[in-house]
Amino acid sequence: MTAGTATVEQAARGLIARAEEVALCLDFDGTLSPVVDDPQAARPLQGIVELLEPLARRFAAVALISGRPAPYLAEHVAAPGVRYLGLYGLQEMYEGQVRVDPRLEAARSAVDAAAAALRESPAVRESGAWLEDKVYAVGVHTRRVPDRDRWTDAVDRTAREIAEQYGLEIIPGKMVWELRPAVRGDKGDGVRRVVAESGARAVVVVGDDLGDLPAFAAVAELAAEGHDGLRVAVRSQEAPPELLAAADLVLEGPEGVLDFLRRLAT
């Protein structure tokens, strides 16, 4: 499945033929849900949620892998049989049970202190940047900041300084900086876990942002170990060129993902 650039039609046909041994790993923001100005208002594109239960029955696994907290994913994309890997795989909800990496739990106080420092910083206060409490991480969003270009450098500098001060990692994205404990965990780990635990022999990863590159890398590693893999990028105006370049298949926005999932569910 990794060879060459597949068409949607070909890719879907190939996956359906061996669905019971294929794990589907899906990003949330920009993949299942259109990107909106208010991150809390992000919802899956209409028609997607109802496809996930039949897909979970048919495929080896259906997992949502996102930087969001797992309970957020489970609430807004509720479908029986789906695994919700939040916080880049460090937190998981499956059939109502939550499990969290113990290293994350131990770093909570540093995250709380960093969030307080951000809240009081001039760059955040004066720009009107929005702080997202992710419990085990804190996000600084400038998407809704008026005159954003003026503030980007100051917010970037502040976020980096505070991250360093509290021993946190900083993960920049599209108009967002995430400060989180330096606990190793990325979407690639999530992908590997889903594949290992489901016994899948093939894996499909669908994503739209820089955070999905480690998931793409995991597909390549799994391929080297004998699995089949398909890296699917979701194109938007903001899609990173390196993600598109690394993809075996490119879908056009969440609408393209809906079409792809419909084909898989048929």
Q: Which is nearer to Mg ion, 27 or 189 (CB)?
A: 27
**Distance in angstroms (rounded) separating the CA atoms of residues 208 and 6:** 17
Q: Which is nearer to Mg ion, 223 or 257 (CB)?
A: 257
**H/E stretch holding 23:** strand 22-26
Q: Are 44 and 32 in contact (CB under 8 A)?
A: yes
Between 206 and 245, how does the x/- string for binding to Mg ion read (CB under 5 A)?
Answer: --xx------------------------------------
**Distance in angstroms (rounded) separating the CA atoms of residues 231 and 244:** 10
Judged by CB under 5 A, the residue of 1, 27, 189, 250 near Mg ion is: 27
Judged by CB under 5 A, the residue of 24, 29, 141, 174 near Mg ion is: 29
Judged by CB under 5 A, the residue of 30, 44, 188, 214 near Mg ion is: 30
Closest approach, Cβ 29 to Mg ion, in A, equals: 4
The verdict on 186 binding Mg ion (CB under 5 A) reads no
DSSP-based three-state secondary structure for 128? coil
Residue that has been written with the tokens 């942002």 in this structure: 209
Closest approach, Cβ 174 to Mg ion, in A, equals: 9
**Distance in angstroms (rounded) separating the CA atoms of residues 186 and 116:** 25
Q: What is the dihedral of CA 51, 11, 5, 242, to 10 degrees?
A: 20
Interacting residues toward Mg ion by CB under 5 A: 27, 29-30, 208-209
